[in-house]
Each structure stands twice: as structure tokens, then as C-alpha cells.
Amino acid sequence: MKALQWQGINKLKVGEVPEPELRNPGDIIVKVTRSVTCGSDLHLLGGYIPFMQKGDVIGHEFLGEVVQAGALVKNHRVGDRVVVSSFIGCGSCWYCSKELYSLCDNSNTNPALTETLWGQAPGGCFGYSHAMGGNQGSHAEYIRVPFADVGAFTVPQGVSDERALFASDSASTGWMGAELGGVQPGDVVAVWGAGAVGQMAARAAMLLGAERVVVIDRYDYRLDQTAKFIGAETLNYEEVNTEQELRERTGGRGPDVCIEAVGMEAHSAGPQFPYDQLKQQLRLQTDRSPAVREAIHVARKGGSVFVLGVYAGIVDKFPLGAMMNKGLTVRGAQMHGPRYIPMLLDRMAKGELVTEHLATHVMPLDEGPEAYRIFKEKEDNCVRAVLVP
Amino acid sequence: MRASRAILVAVTAAAAGVTATSVVKKRRASAQDHDGRPHVITVFRPYDELKAEQVPGSLAELGDTVEVSLRPAPADRGTEISVRPRDGSPVGAGDIRRALRETRSLLEAGDVLLPSGPPTTKTTLLNRPLQAATEHGREGGLL
Ligand SMILES: NC(=O)c1ccc[n+]([C@@H]2O[C@H](COP(=O)([O-])OP(=O)(O)OC[C@H]3O[C@@H](n4cnc5c(N)ncnc54)[C@H](O)[C@@H]3O)[C@@H](O)[C@H]2O)c1
Ligand SMILES: [Zn+2]
Ligand SMILES: [Zn+2]
């Protein structure tokens, strides 16, 4: 079958690979009908996650049709239209029982790498390096989905493929940022990053009752989308000073909840950008984190900062003093998909959550490398490219 | 102390892009010098249930070469299983870690997840250390 394969730093190719097989009785095989480029993939492409092998199939946000089901699968039958959580949970460990699915104890077949790096190993993810289990990704004609009763969800009839697709990763990630960031009715929430994840976090904050939600980015086309489809306020950090502006808009208090949806390749205005970039290139820090710094500095006293952006290792100039003295709660996570997907599909059916606009580019799988180029360079007003095998 | 040094080494190594190699090396080294310390894992199954059962799977296969003990975990967290190699045991730390992780998965999820396949990757000079590490994915780490 055809699949989009990682070939090395900034090198992708569509190649022929063997079709995936059922390996465990809880698996299903899904014929992929739509699969998305996610900001997380850019960190793989850029070589910031050094656990990729030449030939790995990437992609983790997808939707498709069940074509085979293992003997122990109860919830799915051949022919079902399913959307699948990008992170994999077993459904029965202590973490899954607390709905912290991305922390699953049993879904990563390579726990050694991340346990050594971080002290404990999170669960597995599709198409996201051998540190996350080396699971084959979704930019392919077929994909194997383990623990399918836990992570795959039948899409209700009233919800289109185009909308349901984003429940797989961006919408569930965004919802998690708002929910676990502790958004309360009446809160002012600031979101860094107007990509799909940031937009979904902003929408979640609004649905959870936030009074004002401000989304920060430097791309006007993304901010325009955010204003138009999400209904949030926007702020272009290249035009105004983010901190001053957020103070002004919050009566000097600072946002109650800050959600960072940018990640380790963050860009920033001012001298910290070349500084961070150089240190990252010299491997003196693995990640750049200007948006996290800013969020911690501007958050209101006793407020919270939720880090949705992916980081791999260590950062420099982390404002520990501000965090401690202002009594902040700083939290982060990989997405706990199954905790949110059924609720999100429900809200999608009711029209409370729209996502179609995120798919600015729909392209055949064959054009995968070009799709990633456009997505990475933010060309042609790209927010997400959707690949159709 | 030992663990924190290991983490530092790993983080620095990750920064240099050679983590897989160092993880493999560490695994080999620790397989020999298991220094008699116990390897402990928590399984999300009640102590009363597990103490009545035989531990299944690859932990049972280690047989008498190791000493297995169970104790209840605090709150609702299940049972802590501790495994210590007996004096002169041929079993390496890596085998014990793998046995513990597989056993936890069997007891909790009823199955041990296999990696997806068939593989889509090729072995190259650059891939080799990472492939070697992932072939033994459940044997390494800090457990
Ligand atoms: N936690 C999870 O489970 C999870 C899931 C999906 C994605 N992610 C991560 O979320 C992040 C965002 O994902 P995405 O798909 O929306 O990515 P994206 O690349 O489409 O969007 C990121 C946006 O951040 C903006 N940005 C860069 N620097 C900024 C700064 N200093 N301040 C404000 N905005 C800035 C960029 O201009 C861009 O629009 C990535 O790091 C991705 O890896 C995490
Ligand atoms: Zn993603
Ligand atoms: Zn689990």
C-alpha cells in the first residue's frame, strides 16, 4: 500500500509499504479516508525528536472505515466509520481508569526511551517516533489501531467526515487545555497559537463559559479565521506588545487561564528568538519556549498555565521565580483523547463545535510531501492539510 | 542519586542526538550489574485478588531464579510487585523489567501489546542503535 514515510530531517516521500496486520485480538484495521498534518509532525520533520527511523510512516489525526476487527473487539464492526484518538490507551490501567489516557501504562511498547529521558513513560501514539511506541502512522491507505474499543469511536450519522476528523487530535487536545487548565465561567483566557490546536482550545474555553478569550499569533490569516469561525478576540504579537495588551484587556490582572498551543519551535519577537534558536541548534537546550515564558509572566496571580505545545527535553530561562511567587499552577499533557471524543462528536452534531474551516488544503496522499511543505511554511494561508489516500 | 545521574546522562545524550545508543549501552551494563536491588512495579489490581493468584506470563517463567513479593499499594492503586534476583541468578535486570511490564499488562489489560507490523523501515547505519533499543523496548529504562 501507499504511505507517507519519514526519510530524514525535512525529507518525506510517498512509498510502498506492507499492509498492516492485526497483531493483538483488541486491534482493528482501518481504511484511512482522511488524515491530517499536525503541528506535532513538524517537530519530527525538523529532527527535534531524535527517535525516528528512515521509513517510518507518520500521521496521527485521522478518520476511516473499519475493514477488519480482532476477535476481542466488541464496539466495532467491519464497515463502521470511526474517528480514532491519536494517543493510545489500554482502558484498564490506573491512568486510563482516571481518564488520563495518554499516560497509559500498557500502550507503549518502547517505554525504555521515555522512561530514561523523563523518569516515567507516557503511553503510545500513532506515527510519532519510536519513543512513543513506533506505531505506524495514518498517512497511509490502512492503519492498525490497537485497543480499538478504547480509542476508536463510531461517528454519528449527522456528523460529516470533514468535521469529525478533528475530534481525533486537535479538538480533543484543545478541550483538554481548557478543561484541565481549569477554565471557569467568567474567566479571561489567553491562548498562544492560532493553529488548529489553539483555535480548538479557544472554542473549548468559550463553551466552558469563559467571558473573554484572546488568541495570539503573528499570522493574520490564522487570526482572521479565529475571529470568524471561533468567535474569539485576537492579538497579533508582531503589531502590539502581548503583555501590555493582555494587561489592558484584563484590567491589569492578567488572564485567569493561559493556554500555550505553540510548541518547541516557537517563534518570538525580539532578541530572545535568535538566542533560543542558536542554543537549540547547538543542542544546549532541546526546546524553545518563549510563549511559555510569556504566559507565566503575564498570568494573573494564582492563575494557571496549561502547556499543550509539545516539548521534548530541556528549556532555558524558565521563569521559575514568577511561577513560584505568583502561586501559579503550571500543567501540561499529551491529549487524553477518549476522555473527550464522544462529547466532542456530540457537540459537533449539535453545531456547537465547527472544524471544517481548519482543512484549508485537501490533497491526495501522493502529494503528502508538498502538503507538509505548504503547512510548514504557512504558505497559501494553510492551517491544516488533509490527505486523502 | 544513581537514577538522577542516569537521567542527566540521557537528557544530555538526547541533546546530542545519540540517546538510543546510550540507552542500549546502559541496558547492557545494567543487565550484568543488577546489584541485588529489587525492581518494583504497581499493578492496578486489588492485592487480595493477586495474592490468591499465581503471577502469570513472563514473570512466572522466571521461576525460582527470582524472589517475588507482593504488597498492597496505597489508596486505590492496586498491588506493588517487587522482584529481586536470587544470588547467582542468571536473570538480567532487563529480563526482570520486561517480565514486570508484560505481567502488568496481562493482569490489567488481559494482553501484551505487540508493535505494529510488518515493519516499514529499513536498517541503515543511522537507524541501527535505535532499532537495537526498540527490539528490547521493555527491557530498558529505570524500573
Ligand atoms: N498536547 C497534545 O496532545 C498535542 C496534540 C496536538 C498538537 N500538539 C502541539 O500543539 C502545538 C500546536 O499545534 P498546531 O497543530 O496548532 O501547530 P501549528 O504549527 O499549526 O500552529 C502553531 C502556531 O503557533 C504560532 N506561534 C509561534 N510562536 C508563537 C508565539 N511565540 N506566540 C504565539 N503564537 C506563536 C505559529 O505562528 C502558529 O500559527 C504543537 O507544538 C503541537 O505539537 C500537542
Ligand atoms: Zn497532533
Ligand atoms: Zn492504560
Q: Does the pLDDT at position B86 exceed 80?
A: yes
Asked whether residue B31 carries a pLDDT value surpassing 80, the answer given is no
> Out of B6, B17, B120, whose CB is closest to A116?
B6
CA B27 – CA B30 distance, rounded (Å)? 5
**Using the beta-carbon criterion (under 8 Å), do B15 and A113 form an inter-chain contact?**
no
Domains of chain B by residue range:
2-116+124-135
Residue A118 CB contacts under 8 Å (≥ 6 apart), including other chains: none
**What's the angle, vertex CA A80, arms to CA A75 and CA A84, rounded to 5?**
70
Is residue A197 within 8 A of residue A37, CB to CB? The reply is no
Alpha-carbon distance values, A156 to A74, A132, A226, A350 (Å): 18, 30, 26, 11
Considering only the beta carbons, identify the residue of A50, A92, A109 that sits closest to B17: A50
Q: Looking at domain A175-332, which of 3.40.640.10, 3.55.40.10, 3.40.50.720, 3.40.140.10 is its CATH number?
A: 3.40.50.720
Q: Where are the domains of chain A?
A: 2-169+335-388, 175-332
Half-sphere exposure of residue A138: CA atoms within 13 angstroms, side-chain side: 31
Give the model's pLDDT for residue A314: 87
Give the integer Cα–Cα distance in Å for A83 and B43. Answer: 30
CB–CB contact A21 B117 (8 Å): yes
Look up residue A180 and give its three cell numbers.
484541565
* SS3 call for B142: coil
| Model confidence at B2: pLDDT above 60 | no
A332 class by beta-carbon count within 10 Å (0-12 exposed, 13-18 middle, 19+ buried): middle
> From CA B128, how far away is CA A130, in angstroms rounded?
13
Task: DSSP letter for A230, please.
Answer: I
Cα A245 → chain centroid: 27
Q: What pLDDT is stored for residue B34 in this prediction?
A: 63
Compute the distance from residue A85 Cα to the ligand 3 centre, in Å. 13
Q: Does residue B12 have a pLDDT over 80?
A: no
Q: Do B19 and A50 touch (CB under 8 A)?
A: yes
Q: Tell me if B50 sits within 8 A of B107, measured CB to CB.
A: yes
Amino acid identity of A135?
Answer: N
pLDDT at A270: 77
What pLDDT was estimated at residue A335? 98
Q: Which CATH class is domain A2-169+335-388?
A: alpha beta
Instruction: Quote the CA–CA distance of A254 and A295 in Å, as a whole number.
Output: 9
Along the 389 residues of chain A, how does pLDDT read in single tens digits?
Answer: 999 999 999 999 999 999 999 999 999 999 999 999 999 999 999 988 889 999 999 999 999 999 999 999 999 999 999 999 999 999 999 999 999 999 999 999 999 999 999 999 999 999 999 999 999 999 999 999 999 999 999 999 999 999 999 999 999 999 999 999 999 999 999 999 999 999 999 999 999 999 999 999 999 999 999 999 999 999 999 999 999 999 999 999 999 999 999 998 888 777 888 888 888 887 777 788 899 999 999 999 999 999 999 998 888 889 999 999 999 999 999 999 999 999 999 999 999 999 999 999 999 999 999 999 999 999 999 999 999 99
Q: Which residues pair with A11 in a beta bridge?
A: A8
Mean pLDDT for chain B? 79
Residue A2: count of CB within 10 angstroms of its CB:
17
> Which string of DSSP letters, residue by residue, matches A314-350?
--SS--HHHHHHTT-EEEE-S--HHHHHHHHHHHHHH
User: CA-CA distance, A10 to A132, in Å (whole number)?
Assistant: 20
Total number of residues shown for chain B: 143
Higher pLDDT, B17 or A140: A140
Q: pLDDT band at residue B61, thresholds of 50, 70 and 90?
A: confident
CA proximity to A23, closest of A101, A92, A109, A102: A109
State how far residue B119 is from chain A, nearest Cα, in angstroms.
Answer: 8
Can you give the pLDDT at residue A281?
81
Measure A105 CA to ligand 3 centroid, in angstroms: 5
What's the CA-to-centroid distance between A293 and ligand 1, angstroms?
15
Quick check: B18 pLDDT over 70? no
Distance from CA of A190 to the nearest CA of B (A): 31
DSSP state of A154: E
Domain B2-116+124-135 CATH (choose: 3.90.550, 1.10.3470, 3.40.50, 3.30.530)? 3.30.530
Beta strands in chain B (DSSP E): 39-43, 66-72, 79-85
Residue B68 has pLDDT above 60, yes or no: yes
**A271's grid cell:** 532578541
Identify the closest residue of chain B to A28 by CA–CA distance: B116
Task: Count the residues in chain A.
Answer: 389
